[in-house]
């Protein structure tokens, strides 16, 4: 090979794993920035904030759904995949967003919700219109079984996973709400229509997709009854749709039809509840041509008992065991995504940190631990400010279909007292993460000049971007440094990972290594000082990053983070 060819091959190789040193920022548009005062965030609002994202240093923006939607599940119920909901703006606004991001060297990935559509999507309207409509088979229709639902599956947002449609006397399947009928991916026309739509978006300039519950698209066509856990009313059908029989075939087909001509430049991340490490390795092994990475759910399932409405305290040993296993499992082949938060999860500082006296320290420690793992980190809007959970006191303050349906089911059908139901909602409800972005301490938090669609956290007077940008010891400036480190230090992007102290209930500890360089990362998950039991030789290592202004060898103060670096003699 000539030197010239070698050089260009190296460049392509370097480019095709650009995502290893990238950081993604999730915008939940409804709650990010409202430019027109209607109380709901919009695309123009995002455009106005791009300099903020550029200052933070993120490489990719993941935009939660802005497509036309009846908004039963805040846009995760789409009725037109090729237009923007007027609530958020227009296609012209989106084109401008893409152009303005690209002008700043950032990429845009769109949310792709194709396990289901809205019940108002023209495909479903046609499908439901008669037994013989050409689109009948685009969804999962079944005749009643003994006058009732075709199987015992429950839906994610309460009630059965089937709704009877009077027009034809058959039931349709919906794993989420009745307003979100599941598409039948067995039908090649469905797949072709989805691929065509995805290509349309890529041609428009988007740089990839975050793919909603993508490991649910292949179902066992026999749709057998699911196991009934404990005193649950419905069966759990997940064994028959999580990473189902044809999932790899579908994703490889999608790769061929959509990703392959531009694969190296794209970022694709599949949201995959219930995915195992072994499956994730298959999904993300570059040689298999499926996805760049997946969102797994194990570590966000450790602080509740089966149901998210039965919270329990996190055991740090479990967290290390879980994340450590994922690091190991995807070390040789595949790639991890790294996340604490998103629009479905509680705010991490309230969840795994201390959102009282140690809010800033613990928010930085959590960020430091996550971002120094091997994988691509995702930041959820407001996490970079250490935004906290919201304390809602009545059900009327909630907006999320999941919380509202659960409250109704628990109080009306199961007869649980309201205060108990509200208490069980508090920790893990999704509206915790969906209160508006806190830009300033003024009324409306700089988010809106109107009446916000959901209450603004009263702590916005204290916790806001205006107060933090440029304050050297703020959570925001800490995230900035962390992102810059990933960009500049190959050891953070690519280095090998080794977990230390797996049984220590208070200290999170691991090393990274790359050539002669080694990092030791230490995090104290509590307010008690602690002496970590690591090789004392590290005491003389240099501090690459910490969350205290000074450095005191190896002892860890409350919620302290240390990233130490040393060069080994080879």
Q: What are the Cα distances from residue 400, in Å, to 75, 133, 145? A: 12, 34, 32
Q: Considering the candidates 42, 85, 93, 212, report the single residue annotated as catalytic.
A: 212
In angstroms, the CA 362 to CA 314 distance is 15
Q: Min. distance of Cβ 194 from ligand GLC in angstroms?
A: 15
Q: Which is nearer to ligand GLC, 183 or 361 (CB)?
A: 183
The strand pairing partners of 505, in sequence order, are none
Q: Is 160 left (phi over 0), alpha (psi -120 to 50) or beta?
A: beta
Query: Quick check: 559 and 365 in contact, CB under 8 A?
Result: yes
Please choose, from the candidates 388, 396, 472, the residue with its C-alpha nearest in 3D space to the C-alpha of residue 435.
Answer: 388
Q: Considering the candidates 111, 182, 271, 355, report the single residue annotated as catalytic.
A: 271
Q: Which is nearer to ligand GLC, 344 or 560 (CB)?
A: 344
The strand pairing partners of 164, in sequence order, are 171
> Which member of 34, 344, 383, 489 binds ligand GLC (CB under 6 A)?
344
Tell me phi and psi for residue 553, to 5 degrees: 40, -130
- Does the footprint of ligand GLC cover residue 94 (CB under 6 A)? no
Contact set for ligand GLC, span 108-167 (CB under 6 A): 113
Indicate the residue whose CB is closest to ligand GLC.
76
- Does the footprint of ligand GLC cover residue 212 (CB under 6 A)? yes
- Does the footprint of ligand GLC cover residue 213 (CB under 6 A)? yes
Alpha helices in 130-203 (DSSP H): 188-203
Q: Min. distance of Cβ 490 from ligand GLC in angstroms?
A: 32
> Which member of 34, 73, 85, 279 binds ligand GLC (CB under 6 A)?
73
Q: Which is nearer to ligand GLC, 299 or 343 (CB)?
A: 343
Q: Is residue 212 annotated as a catalytic residue, yes or no?
A: yes
> Which member of 123, 124, 140, 176 binds ligand GLC (CB under 6 A)?
176
Helix, coil or strand: residue 108: strand
In angstroms, the CA 28 to CA 433 distance is 9
In the shown chain, the binding pattern of residues 247 to 276 toward ligand GLC, with x for contact by CB under 6 A and - for none, equals ------------------------x-----
In angstroms, the CA 480 to CA 135 distance is 49
Q: Min. distance of Cβ 213 from ligand GLC in angstroms?
A: 5
Q: Min. distance of Cβ 271 from ligand GLC in angstroms?
A: 6
In the shown chain, the binding pattern of residues 299 to 328 toward ligand GLC, with x for contact by CB under 6 A and - for none, equals ------------------------------
- Residue 53: which residues within 8 A CB-CB, separation 6 or more? 25, 61, 106
In angstroms, the CA 160 to CA 277 distance is 30
Q: Min. distance of Cβ 104 from ligand GLC in angstroms?
A: 26
In angstroms, the CA 117 to CA 79 distance is 6
Q: Min. distance of Cβ 344 from ligand GLC in angstroms?
A: 5
Tell me phi and psi for residue 10, to 5 degrees: -60, -40
In angstroms, the CA 121 to CA 440 distance is 38
In angstroms, the CA 152 to CA 238 distance is 12
In the shown chain, the binding pattern of residues 28 to 67 toward ligand GLC, with x for contact by CB under 6 A and - for none, equals ----------------------------------------
State the CB neighbour count (10 A cutoff) for residue 37: 11
Q: Which is nearer to ligand GLC, 71 or 464 (CB)?
A: 71
Instruction: Count the site residues for ligand GLC by CB under 6 A.
Output: 9
- Residue 8: which residues within 8 A CB-CB, separation 6 or more? none
Q: Min. distance of Cβ 116 from ligand GLC in angstroms?
A: 7
> Which member of 76, 185, 209, 478 binds ligand GLC (CB under 6 A)?
76
Characterize the bridge pairing of strands 517-524 and 507-514: antiparallel
Q: Which is nearer to ligand GLC, 279 or 431 (CB)?
A: 431
Token code pair at residue 521: 């990362």
Q: Min. distance of Cβ 379 from ligand GLC in angstroms?
A: 16
Q: Min. distance of Cβ 118 from ligand GLC in angstroms?
A: 10
Q: Which is nearer to ligand GLC, 309 or 497 (CB)?
A: 309
3-state secondary structure 325-344: HHHHHCCCCCCEEECCCCCC
- List of residues contacting ligand GLC (CB under 6 A): 73, 76, 113, 176, 212-213, 271, 343-344
Active site residues: 212, 271
């Amino acid at each position: 090979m000539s030197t010239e060819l070698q050089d260009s091959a190296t460049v392509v190789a370097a480019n095709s794993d650009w995502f290893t040193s990238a950081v993604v920022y999730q915008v939940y548009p409804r709650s990010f920035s409202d430019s027109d005062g209607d109380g709901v965030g919009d695309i123009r609002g995002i455009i106005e904030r791009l300099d903020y994202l550029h200052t933070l240093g993120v490489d990719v923006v993941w935009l939660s759904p802005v497509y036309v939607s009846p908004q039963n599940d805040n846009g995760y119920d789409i009725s037109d995949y090729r237009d923007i909901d007027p609530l958020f703006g227009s296609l012209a606004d989106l084109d401008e967003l893409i152009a303005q991001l690209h002008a700043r060297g950032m990429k845009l990935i769109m949310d792709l919700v194709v396990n289901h559509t809205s019940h108002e999507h023209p495909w479903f309207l046609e499908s439901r219109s008669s037994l013989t409509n050409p689109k009948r088979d685009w969804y999962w229709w079944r005749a009643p079984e003994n006058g009732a639902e075709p199987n015992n599956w429950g839906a994610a947002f309460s009630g059965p996973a089937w709704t009877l449609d009077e027009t034809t006397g058959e039931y349709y399947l919906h794993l989420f709400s009745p307003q979100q009928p599941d598409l039948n991916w067995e039908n090649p026309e469905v797949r072709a229509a989805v691929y065509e739509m995805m290509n349309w978006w890529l041609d428009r300039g988007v740089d990839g997709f975050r793919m909603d519950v993508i490991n649910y698209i292949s179902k066992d066509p026999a749709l057998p009854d699911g196991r009934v856990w404990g005193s649950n009313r419905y069966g759990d059908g997940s064994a028959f749709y999580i990473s189902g029989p044809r999932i790899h075939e579908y994703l490889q087909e999608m790769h061929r039809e959509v990703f392959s001509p531009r694969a190296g430049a794209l970022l694709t991340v599949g949201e995959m509840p219930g995915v195992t490490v072994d499956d994730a390795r298959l999904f993300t092994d570059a040689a298999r041509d499926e996805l760049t990475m997946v969102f797994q759910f194990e570590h966000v399932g450790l602080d509740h008992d089966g149901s998210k409405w039965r919270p329990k305290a996190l055991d740090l040993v479990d967290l290390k065991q879980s994340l450590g296993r994922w690091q190991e499992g995807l070390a040789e082949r595949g790639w991890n995504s790294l996340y604490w938060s998103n629009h479905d999860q509680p705010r991490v500082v309230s969840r795994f940190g201390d959102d009282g006296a140690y809010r800033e320290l613990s928010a930085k420690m959590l960020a430091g631990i996550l971002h120094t793992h091997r994988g691509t980190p995702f930041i959820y809007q407001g996490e970079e400010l250490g935004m906290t959970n919201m304390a809602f006191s009545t059900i009327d303050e909630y907006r999320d279909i999941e919380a509202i349906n659960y409250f109704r089911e628990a109080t009306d059908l199961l007869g649980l007292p309201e205060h108990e139901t509200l208490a069980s909602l508090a920790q893990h409800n999704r509206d915790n993460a969906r209160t508006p972005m806190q830009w300033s301490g003024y009324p409306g938090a700089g988010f809106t000049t109107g009446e916000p669609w959901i209450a603004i956290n009263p702590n916005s007077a204290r916790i806001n971007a205006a107060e933090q940008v440029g304050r050297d010891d703020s959570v925001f400036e800490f995230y900035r440094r962390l992102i810059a480190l990933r960009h500049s230090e190959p050891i953070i992007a690519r280095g090998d990972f080794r977990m230390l102290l797996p049984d220590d209930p208070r200290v999170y500890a691991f090393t990274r290594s790359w050539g002669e360089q080694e990092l030791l990362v230490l995090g104290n998950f509590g307010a008690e000082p602690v002496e970590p039991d690591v090789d004392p030789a590290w005491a003389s290592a240099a501090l690459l990053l910490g969350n205290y202004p000074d450095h005191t060898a190896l002892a860890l103060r409350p919620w302290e983070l240390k990233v130490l670096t040393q060069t080994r003699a080879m």
